[in-house]
Chains A and B, each alone.
Chain A
Amino acid sequence: MFQIIWQHTRRWQRVCLFAAPLVMLMEVFCDLQQPTLMSKIVDTGLAGSGHPQFILQTGGVMLLIALVGACSGSGCNALASYASLKMGQRLRNHLLSLALATRNGHDLSTPTLITRITNDVIQMQNLVMTLTRSLVRAPFLLLGGIVMAFLISPRIAWILAIVVPVLLLFMGLVIRHSVPLFTKMQQAIDRINRVMRETLLGIKTVKSFTLENQQQQLFDQINQQVQTSSVAAQASVIILAPVVTLALNLSIVAALWFGGGLHASHLITTGQIMAFVNYMIQITTAMINTVNTVSSLSRAQTATARIQAVLDLPQDAEPTATVALPTDTTLRFEHVNFAYPGGENVLTDIDFELPAGAKLGIIGTTGSGKTTLVDLLTRLYDPTSGRITIGGVPINQLSLAQLRQQVAVALQNSVLFSGTIASNLRYGKETATDAELVVAAQAAAAADFIAARPGGYQAQVTQRGNNFSGGQKQRLNIARALVAQAAILVLDDTTSAVDLATDAHIQQALRQVRQGKTTIMIAQRIAALQDSDLILVLDHGHIVARGQHATLLQESAFYREVAVAQLGKEVLTDA
């Protein structure tokens, strides 16, 4: 925890980290002076015939101290805010750059990473605030209050020696007892939220299968659990307030009682008794705040652990270019095997050669390893064994920048970024001219709907391209890959969400654009693959058949079945 904070702060922020608590101590010190000064006014100022001069002077000191306290408190807040926000800023930058730099599969899913960089960093920020402010103020008010009470009169301060430890222990026990009950409540709430969400999202299914009664029964049952567990959880903590109040009140009565006895023996003054009672109230409030602060720390603990896991993500050494970019784009996979760490082989003995300018088609069932094959080519992963070469150069001798300049990929799950259509298309090549964008968009059958948007290429794209349909996103995705004008073009099942007619149109247009480019096309539709120079049929990571369309119709039962299902029996006679 402290290590993360320390590593993400610099000079002045570190100074603030230490200065803030010190300034806070000043405020605590000021607050603690008031009752003592009050007791002096009562005891000295009112003694005999009275000393108005002394009363006014002491009162002036009290006002001054109140002002100094307020300045210290605000100052501490300013310093602590600065340190915590700056720490948060650095931490966010660091985490995001780490997350973007990791290549290999790790077990942090995207939603988890998002939560960690957003919410958990804010939690860390709050933690720094707590550490430098609340965690200083409350315990020191508590300690200081006890010290002041003893200074006033050790003869009645012994009451504190009993009450404070007993109360702290009691609060600790109650909270410890309540934590599992609150966890149980939260679980019940999660369950009921799930039932509600599912009924809502599946409302058509619910209605069609008349599942209303069954869902209602399920809901009522869990709703009852929510009620029971919430009552149990809250019942476990409502004992705190009455007990703490009672303890405080009884201690005050005790102080008055024993104080009265001591007063009769002239061992204590009225002012001292009054100050003591005031300290008692301060101490009790401080005690409650201390317990609250400490229990809020345990929440920050989880956030810290979650952030540490991101910081510990394995980082790969970036390869530096050792050879020049080959002009030849002949692509070779040589006995390539791949498995995720600790997993079984996802790809086994993939071996093929694709001459420069040729088109490779890949077909296969879900999970057959098609996308992984492309990930190896772009070095999102490295093969477990075997090697991949472009123009005879093994790709791990090229820098990532060189490699990705050579290979443009349109991904299966197309992602757009907020900005404009043009800014998204220029992702492939920042310097692309407007004319180049239009050419690419036309080839991807995107030009028409782009033109139909107000603003055309300057039309806004909202977050993740949510203002475009699935088919439109896929077409922009293809256009983006085309803008890059890389020598090798990879299209990974990029037309699954467009209808057959549009798909046919895209395939037609692509034929023009990919002239001279080495192309890899993964698809489910035979129509998109049939003009390939080489088609691979993948099954469970193995190449089970290879050849051109006509050959595969004859040799691969799988390919034939798929072709007949999609294109009708005529396909056999046409070929």
Chain B
Amino acid sequence: MPNVAMKRPPRGQHYTEEQLKVQHLKPTLRQLSGYLLQKRWPLAAVFGFTVVTTVVSIIGTRLNGLIIDRYIRTDRLKLLAMVCLLMVGMYVVASGFNWLQSHFMVNIAQETSTRIRQDVFTRMQRLPLSYFDQHPSGDLMSRLTNDVDNINTALMETFIQLFTGVISVVGMLIAMLVLSPALTLVVLLASTGTYFLSRQIAKFTQTAFRQQQAELGQLNSEIEETLSGKKTIQLFEQADQVLTDFRATNQRYVHHAYQAQVFSGALGPLNNMLNNLAYALITVLGALAILHGYQGITVGIMFAFLIYMRDFTGPIRNMLDLINTLQVSIVSAERVFAVINAPAEQDAPHVVMPTLTGTIALQHVTFGYQPEHPILHDISLTAKPGEMVAIVGPTGAGKTTTINLLTKLYPLTAGTILIDGHPIDQLDRYALRRQIAIVQQEPFLFSGTIQANIRLGRLDASEADIVAAAKAANAHDFIMQLPAGYQTQLSDRQQSLSQGQRQLISIARAFLAQTPILILDEATSAIDTKTEMVIQQAMDQLMQQKTSFVIAHRLSTIQKADQIIVIDQGRIVERGTHAHLLAQKGLYWRLYRSQFQGKDV
């Protein structure tokens, strides 16, 4: 009996070859089945239910034929009533099983993808920073979202449909062969015809589709570029030119899209036609066979075949689509597992760390993102508790890299860093990082309230602590001017705060952290002058009684520093106080005049 599947119509997705390329099939499947095996009993139940519903559907159809032959044509109404009652019972049970099957599958798929998502996220947070340097955030994001989604779809739809498909195709094939090999041949011809027709048309339209996608990409990026640069286009009176170009692209897209759609859209009607042809052939051949008493074919058998045929070509056509989807999902799984399996940050065993006084010593530190290409060479320096060290140098000299090493964001290639005499590679990184507060050049704020963002400095801080920190950071005043004060929601992408204000919040965070060591990266670009002075004041306040490292871009900072380290091409080239270094008239002197005083040299 027909089994109605409430599935989405085929999506007509066209995958690029890239998407369909699986590199490590076996390990990927093993890992994926590892997740599924945790659900082996529910899965076994799903398979059991599927077998029952499919078998009921096959038997039901056969019974239809028998009813026609044995009871209706011979008017045996009592027996008819009994068989009908039997069928009602069968169908009710089968539908119940059908529901249970979906119910179990939804739970299996959702629980599994929740687990996968959790595993990716947990691992992602533990990956070393170098991993994020090598993998663009957009790519990682799409692994976390789209790829996990694809796995979910594979589990939810593809898997179950493929299984049902195989069982019904095999089951029906057997049932049909038993009934009539000749009519089975007609059905098989229609199915293979459908298959080859789809393949042929797909091949034909693939080129057209690829062109359509390429043109669409071009079209969309032109739209995006035009609208992003709208003001410039208006000011330079270029709208007419831009629109003329756009019309041409638009025309090209429509041209290719039309070719692609006309051919691919014909697929539906053509398949429908093949079905109708098979329907007609079964009727005609069946009727002729009945007349000639060939192979014992009856009207009832013909009737059963007419229904089998629809149920047979459907799953076959579907399974072809599903194999494509499955392939995409496996590639997705591979991408997701690549993150889960990436090696996590190395760490020393947890040691109890005393509160630090903040003596920091770098001894012959050498570092390269790839150890064979060092970018910092033999850096040695010592900062005593409470000292302020300013790091200056031309762009790309290695200033940021140097301070990243202090918090174990990257492993050293050679040399050691000692904090209060402890080599940092023997310290647990959480313990170490809790002793060091960082103010980044472009601070990152999370969506949530301003209060929550400041609290990130110390999670157990009270509201009063937060206000105190904000006041110390000169952030309190502007926060109070916002409509909701500390409860102002910062939205996801659309940042409502200026860069200066964001920096003040991150300074408040650092105040709250109350660490003995501080790292500051001053903003390079000239932000709003007034705010800049407010920031400067807050930073001075923050640095009091702390050992601080500052990547300096401002005059007042270097003038106040206890020692200035001048870095060029990964080496310390000069060091000393402001006055001492100016007197040397070396690189520092030149930097001072150009970078800090803005004089053309």
Contact = CB atoms under 8 A, between A and B. Distances in A.
Interface string B424-468: 000000100110111010011011000000001101000000000
Given A78-B262, A246-B95, 19 more contacts: A38-B283, A41-B287, A66-B276, A76-B269, A81-B257, A100-B239, A196-B141, A197-B141, A204-B444, A208-B409, A226-B117, A235-B103, A270-B73, A366-B498, A380-B234, A417-B229, A500-B596, A505-B600, A562-B533
B444 A27 contact: no
The 5 closest A-B pairs by CB, nearest first: A73-B269, A59-B284, A70-B273, A77-B265, A501-B594
A9 interface: no
B126 interface: yes
A256 B84 contact: yes
B536 interface: yes
Nearest to B117: A223
B378 interface: no
A427 B223 contact: no
A227 B112 CA distance: 10
Interface stretch (A45-53, A301-309, A349-357): A45-53
Given A243-B95, A427-B236, A231 B110 contact: yes
Given A31-B276, A73-B268, A210-B434, A93 B250 contact: yes
A313 interface: no
A101 B243 CA distance: 11
A515 to B, nearest CB: 18
Contacts of B369: none
Interface in B537-581: 554-556
B299 A270 contact: yes
Contact of A69 (B73, B77, B272, B594): B272
B4 A288 contact: yes
A285 B4 contact: yes
B216 to A, nearest CB: 8
A63 B266 contact: no
Interface string A26-43: 010011001001100110
Contacts of B67: 256, 260
B87 to A, nearest CB: 5
A409 B125 contact: no
B34 interface: no
A346 interface: no
Interface centre among B60, B114, B310, B532 (most CB of A within 10 A): B114
Nearest to B86: A253
A298 to B, nearest CB: 16
B238 interface: yes
Contacts of B111: 227
B287 A565 contact: no
Contact of A464 (B144, B228, B600): B228
Contacts, number: 433
A508 B600 contact: yes
Interface string B114-127: 10011001101110
A264 B254 contact: no
A110 interface: yes
B107 interface: yes
Contacts of B117: 192, 223, 226
Contacts of A27: 269, 272
Nearest to B222: A418
Given A69-B269, A231-B110, A260 B310 contact: no
B233 A100 contact: yes
A81 B262 contact: yes
Nearest to B434: A210
A88 B254 contact: yes
B261 interface: yes
B125 A227 contact: no
Contacts of A292: 8-9
Given A118-B223, A212-B125, A256-B72, A249 B91 contact: yes
B77 A260 contact: yes
Q: What's the dominant secondary structure at chain B's contact region?
A: helix
Contact of A245 (B2, B77, B253, B258): B2
Contact of B287 (A46, A67, A198, A230): A46
Contacts of B156: 234
Nearest to B529: A562
B599 to A, nearest CB: 6
Interface residues of A, number: 161
Given A256-B80, A409-B235, A63 B272 contact: no
7 contacts: A27-B272, A38-B306, A42-B299, A192-B117, A205-B440, A250-B91, A264-B77
Interface string B479-501: 00000000000001000001010
Nearest to A97: B243
Interface stretch (B20-28, B383-391, B520-528): B520-528
B575 to A, nearest CB: 22
A202 interface: yes
A214 B460 CA distance: 11
Contacts of B106: 230-231, 234-235, 238
A66 B509 CA distance: 74
A432 interface: no
Contacts of A464: 224-225, 228-229
Interface string B1-40: 1111110110000000000000000000000000000000
A296 B333 CA distance: 30
A224 interface: yes
A426 B361 CA distance: 55
Interface in B230-263: 230-239, 242-243, 246-247, 250-251, 253-254, 257-258, 261-262
Interface in A165-200: 192-194, 196-200
B584 to A, nearest CB: 19
B102 A202 contact: no
B173 interface: no
Nearest to B132: A203
A22 interface: no
A209 B276 CA distance: 68
Contacts of A415: 228-229, 231-232
Contacts of A66: 273, 276-277, 279-280
B102 A241 contact: yes
B223 to A, nearest CB: 5
A452 to B, nearest CB: 15
B530 interface: yes
A72 interface: yes
A101 B230 CA distance: 9
B95 A256 contact: no
A312 interface: no
Contact of A70 (B235, B261, B269): B269
A208 B68 contact: no
Contact of B444 (A202, A288, A524): A202
B220 interface: yes
B588 interface: no
B291 A46 contact: yes
B195 interface: no
B3 A245 contact: yes
A508 B600 CA distance: 8
Contact of A209 (B126, B238, B269, B509): B509
Nearest to A194: B492
